[in-house]
Structure 1
Amino acid sequence: MTPPTSETAPAVDPGEPRMRRVPQQERSRRRVEAILDAAARIVVAEGVDAVGTRSIADLAGVPVASLYQYFADKDDILLALVERDMAEMDERVAAHVGALRRISLESLVEATISAFTQVYAERPAFVMIYLRGRTNQAIRDYGRDHNRKVAAMLFGFAADLGLTMPEVTVLIAELAVEMGDRLFQLAYEETLEGDPAIISEAVTLLTTYLQRYATPAGLTGIEV
């Protein structure tokens, strides 16, 4: 069997960005990144409630009018931050899964959680906006939709490798992803570094749940 790589491992389709106007030129893309980076710095330094379009524009060094070309309000900016960070998580999951040389349901859980926690460490604003907040309905909706996409991607990958019983449906993967999402909320509730004990238990809980639906190959793993 050909080993998966970061190019061939499963990936999530991020869908279309929800910005008012998608930047086409390099200068415009840099401006949008500066806006998002400024918002992230404010979130980490002062909290989500401190975010405002004026403060973001001032920190990013762009006119407020330029900011409104791409975003309707601060909630749009927060959603764009979440979208950007989740896209990075999807790429990291693909890379971690692609690096596996023995794939089982347990190793898939470990690789996925490891990828997520790495991105959380690099992007603390995401922890504060998504794991601790979700006061924005659009962010909640986007998160649920993303969870379903992640579940479908991982389920399809595992099923194609023969790791799950034939009668298993994507619902099982969706429930596992939702449980993982809630466990991450608990792990990062009081610390941006995440509680390692909760993260470790998350691996155990999700692996134990999924192994109920595993084939012998899903339990012992297959060499790739």
Structure 2
Amino acid sequence: MARKLLTKPRKTASQERSRATVDALFEATARILVKEGFDKASTNRIAEVAGVSVGSLYQYFPSKEALVAAVIKRHQHKIMHTVRGELAEVLAQPVEKAIRKLVAVAVKSHRVDPRLHRVLAEQIPRVGELEKLETFNRENYTLFRTYLESHRDELRVDDLELASFVCVTSIEALTHNAVLHYSKTFSDETMEALIDEAAYLVTGYLMGSRKNEAGSLSDQRHAGLHSPS
């Protein structure tokens, strides 16, 4: 019979000293995950790198899975702190600007400690956090659908539920792969061009040929950079 994962913390650190211990455990867990991998992240190894006793670790976390789940949660909070204000700006913008902003925000969110982000994304199913991720994704679809609803008259798509899934999933897949797997080969200019092209792709899907006639955003930006003075 499979062992049930214990992924909830035993208690929350309330005093400054205990918070310092938990922070050290978080940092040690993140470091080991990035440099050595999930399988090497035993509770003994985490405690050793954090400079605390295994007993202290078990006061707060029942397993390494609980620690990894907590690190995932902390990382997600960092991302939301980074992008929350920018996402609020999207609601008041026209479709073309809003889509480009969403792509740019997605790139920015993946650039929050990208090496850790990639490792944590791989471990989400292993530590029982998949359901929370799916809930988070559904919230994103709902927010995007609400935005599309307010611009329905400008869109060629009829099924806004499906359109939200297509757009959010496409943006996430493009930015995830670009930042986490190609950041070393993509220059800043290439990344900006990717943002433009992804925005053009999604906008064209939502609004149809009316936008396609103008040419891609990166073509327009490139022409502007090289136009005669």
Letter matched to residue 91 of structure 1: H
Name the structure 2 match of 1:142.
132
Higher relative contact order (CA 8 A, sep 6+): 1
- Structure-to-structure mapping, 1:1-224, within 5 angstroms: 18-98=8-88, 103-124=93-114, 125-130=116-121, 132-136=122-126, 138-156=128-146, 159=149, 162-164=150-152, 169-188=160-179, 190-191=181-182, 196=191, 201-211=197-207
Number of equivalent positions: 193
Offset at residue 147 of structure 1 (A): 0.9
Offset at residue 189 of structure 1 (A): 5.6
Q: 1:102 to 1:121 in 2, by over 3 A?
A: same
Tell me if structure 1 keeps the 8 A contact 2:171–2:198.
Answer: yes
Identity over aligned pairs, percent: 25
TM-score where L is the length of structure 1: 0.67
Q: 1:62 to 1:148 in 2, by over 3 A?
A: same
Q: 1:181 to 1:116 in 2, by over 3 A?
A: closer
Counterparts of 2:60 and 2:34 in 1: how far apart (Å)? 22
TM-score where L is the length of structure 2: 0.66
Letter matched to residue 206 of structure 1: V
Which consecutive aligned stretches of 4+ in structure 1 deviate over 6 angstroms post-superposition? none
For structure 2, the residue ranges without an aligned partner over 5 or more in a row are: 1-6, 209-229
Counterparts of 1:52 and 1:209 in 2: how far apart (Å)? 47
Letter matched to residue 180 of structure 1: I
For structure 1, the residue ranges without an aligned partner over 5 or more in a row are: 1-16, 213-224
Moved more, 75-84 or 108-117: 108-117
Tell me if structure 2 keeps the 8 A contact 1:35–1:57.
Answer: yes
Larger radius of gyration: 2
Q: 1:31 to 1:100 in 2, by over 3 A?
A: same
Tell me if structure 2 keeps the 8 A contact 1:57–1:63.
Answer: yes
More helix by share: 2
Offset at residue 103 of structure 1 (A): 0.8
Offset at residue 205 of structure 1 (A): 3.3
